[in-house]
């Protein structure tokens, strides 16, 4: 699908969608339980893949209005009857690989072309350290993957600078092993707030896991059981970042973003980034509202070591700001749905941005940029699509984005929301 976004002013209020990160974890946590309700889940292509994982392991997922009714496999996943296809969802694959280590039998996991290029070797190695067999069919640490369990728990050493999802997968699975799992990190943990999300969600499901001096520990023999048998998914700060950025660039008079309550989500840092750039912003934490107005932004330096999903948004802001914006500690952002560092550099350049790409950084010279509408590509990445749409709001003329349907991964109603905020979006 192609979407054309004209230079626009935006106004009004918008509700952020539920968190993709929390929804993934909640679906699988409910799968690990005997059964639970997940209220206000994000219904997207990625989370649909995680629902399929629960069913592949012997559970059942029913969608009833805005609730998932999940009959779980009670900590004992069955050998799947077929290959598990995780689509484009890296979170699904990593969390499912952890669950597969519990299966008394074999599990094969694969995904689309993009997912089959993403690194999985550290997680496979950790599972082997626990006594199971785990390998890449091509011997390159990438899917398709074959996992043969079961594991009983134990200690593992794993790098923390590839993906925090490896840690989350081991913690979630480790809670239902006999011995539990001790995780020692051999390198600094990147994207640490995503592990904080996992710890918060585990606690909400009655499971205790803790951070240690060298990593993390989860005791075995635990049971997943949320209070009253249900869990409600919070709003998503990653998705909110595009709406907040739109308000800062084009809010006239203002944009109110609802559903942004304080939580463990690292991407709430977008509020700090906007303030550092000079945005006129008020965050009403208690009622989950942020109000932002069109502002004269200045470049800044942002470390995205813990917030890789914010790089596209910050790059778009930087292209419209005065001065230079440096997005640093970003090498791990190259291993997402696409290489987001290169993707944003290439696509913003098509719009007239002066961009400098380094191995672990993206430098956007906003003061040297003169954004104009252009034909750009989403490159199969939902976050790239939405960030380009934000940049289009302040680019002279019209910007046409190819592959715009990929927003369905995390924010299915994104372009509808832009339309409601006053943007004359057209689709073909």
How long, in residues, is the chain?
428
CB 344, CB 381: distance < 8 Å: no
Q: Which residues are annotated as a binding site?
A: 20-21, 25, 90, 118, 163-165, 191, 309, 336, 340, 383
Domain boundaries, the chain: 2-17+235-427, 20-232
Binding residues for 3-phosphoshikimate: 20-21, 25, 163-165, 191, 309, 336
pLDDT in tens, the chain (428 residues): 999 999 999 999 999 999 999 999 999 999 999 999 999 999 999 999 999 999 999 999 999 999 999 999 999 999 999 999 999 999 999 999 999 999 999 999 999 999 999 999 999 999 999 999 999 999 999 999 999 999 999 999 999 999 999 999 999 999 999 999 999 999 999 999 999 999 999 999 999 999 999 999 999 999 999 999 999 999 999 999 999 999 999 999 999 999 999 989 999 999 999 999 999 999 999 999 999 999 999 999 999 999 999 999 999 999 999 999 999 999 999 989 899 999 999 999 999 999 999 999 999 999 999 999 999 999 999 999 999 999 999 999 999 999 999 999 999 999 999 999 999 999 99
Do you find a cis peptide bond into 144, omega within 30 degrees of 0?
yes
- The pLDDT of residue 269 is 97
Can you tell me the distance from the alpha carbon of 65 to that of 75, in angstroms, rounded to the nearest whole number?
27
Pairing between β-strand 398-402 and β-strand 2-6 as defined by DSSP bridges: antiparallel
Instruction: Kindly indicate whether the domain formed by 2-17+235-427 is annotated with CATH number 3.40.50.720.
Output: no
User: Can you read off the two tokens belonging to residue 58?
Assistant: 């012997």
Name the nearest CA neighbour of 330 among 314, 346, 348, 352. 314
* 8 Å CB contact between 191 and 266: yes
Residue 103 has a pLDDT of 98
Residue 129 has a pLDDT of 98
- How confident is the model at residue 306, as a pLDDT? 93
CA angle (13, 292, 5) in 5-degree steps: 65
Which among 118, 64, 61 has a CA at the least distance from the CA of 86? 118
Answer yes or no: are the C-beta atoms of 170 and 159 closer than 8 Å. Answer: no
Per-residue model confidence (pLDDT) at position 112:
97
- Look at residue 17 in the predicted model and tell me its pLDDT: 94
Per CATH, 2-17+235-427 and 20-232 having the same topology is answered: yes
Q: What is the pTM of this model?
A: 0.87
Please give the helix or strand (H or E) that residue 5 lies within, else none: strand 2-6
Residue 390: its pLDDT value, please? Answer: 98
**Angle, to 10 degrees, between the axis of helix 340-350 and the axis of helix 382-392?**
30
Q: Pick the catalytic residue from 46, 309, 381, 406.
A: 309
- pLDDT value, residue 158: 98
Contacts of 272 (CB under 8 A, 6+ apart): none
- At 30 the pLDDT is 98
How many helices (DSSP H) and strands (DSSP E) are in the chain?
12, 24
309 in active site: yes
The fold for domain 20-232 equals UDP-n-acetylglucosamine1-carboxyvinyl-transferase; Chain (3.65.10)
């Amino acid at each position: 699908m192609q979407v054309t976004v004209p230079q626009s002013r935006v106004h009004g209020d918008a509700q952020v969608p539920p968190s993709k990160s929390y929804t993934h974890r909640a679906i699988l946590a409910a799968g690990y339980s005997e059964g639970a309700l997940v209220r206000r889940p994000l219904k997207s292509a990625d989370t649909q893949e995680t629902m399929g994982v629960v069913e592949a392991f012997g559970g059942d997922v029913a969608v009833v209005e805005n609730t998932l009714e999940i009959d779980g496999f009670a900590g004992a996943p069955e050998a799947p009857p077929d290959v598990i296809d995780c689509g484009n969802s890296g979170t699904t694959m990593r969390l499912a690989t952890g669950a597969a280590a519990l299966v008394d039998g074999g599990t094969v996991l694969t995904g689309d072309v993009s997912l089959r290029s993403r690194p999985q070797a550290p997680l496979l190695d950790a599972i082997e350290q626990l006594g199971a067999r785990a390998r890449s069919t091509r011997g390159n640490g990438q899917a398709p993957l074959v996992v043969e369990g079961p594991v009983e728990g134990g200690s593992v050493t794993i790098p923390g600078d590839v993906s925090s999802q490896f840690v989350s997968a081991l913690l979630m699975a480790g809670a239902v092993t006999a011995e539990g799992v001790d995780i020692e990190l051999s390198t600094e943990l990147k994207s640490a707030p995503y592990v904080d999300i996992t710890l918060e969600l585990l606690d909400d499901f009655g499971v205790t896991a803790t951070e240690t001096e060298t990593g993390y520990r989860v005791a075995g023999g635990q049971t997943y059981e949320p209070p009253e048998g249900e869990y409600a998914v919070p709003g998503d700060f990653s998705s909110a970042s595009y709406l907040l950025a739109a308000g800062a660039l084009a809010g006239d008079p203002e944009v109110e973003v609802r559903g942004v309550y304080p939580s463990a989500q690292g991407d709430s840092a977008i509020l700090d980034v906007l303030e550092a750039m000079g945005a006129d912003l008020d965050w009403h934490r208690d009622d989950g509202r942020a109000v932002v107005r069109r502002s004269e932004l200045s470049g800044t330096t942002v470390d995205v070591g813990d917030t890789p999903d914010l790089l596209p948004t910050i790059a778009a802001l930087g292209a419209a700001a005065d001065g230079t914006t440096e997005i640093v500690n970003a090498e791990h952002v190259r291993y997402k749905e696409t290489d987001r560092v290169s993707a944003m550099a290439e696509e913003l350049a098509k719009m007239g941005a002066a961009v400098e790409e380094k191995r672990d950084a993206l430098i956007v010279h906003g003061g040297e940029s003169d954004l104009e509408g252009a034909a750009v590509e989403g490159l199969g990445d939902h976050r790239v699509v939405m960030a380009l749409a934000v940049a289009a709001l302040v680019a002279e003329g019209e910007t046409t984005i190819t592959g715009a349907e990929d927003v369905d991964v995390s924010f299915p109603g994104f372009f509808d929301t832009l339309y409601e905020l006053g943007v004359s979006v057209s689709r073909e």
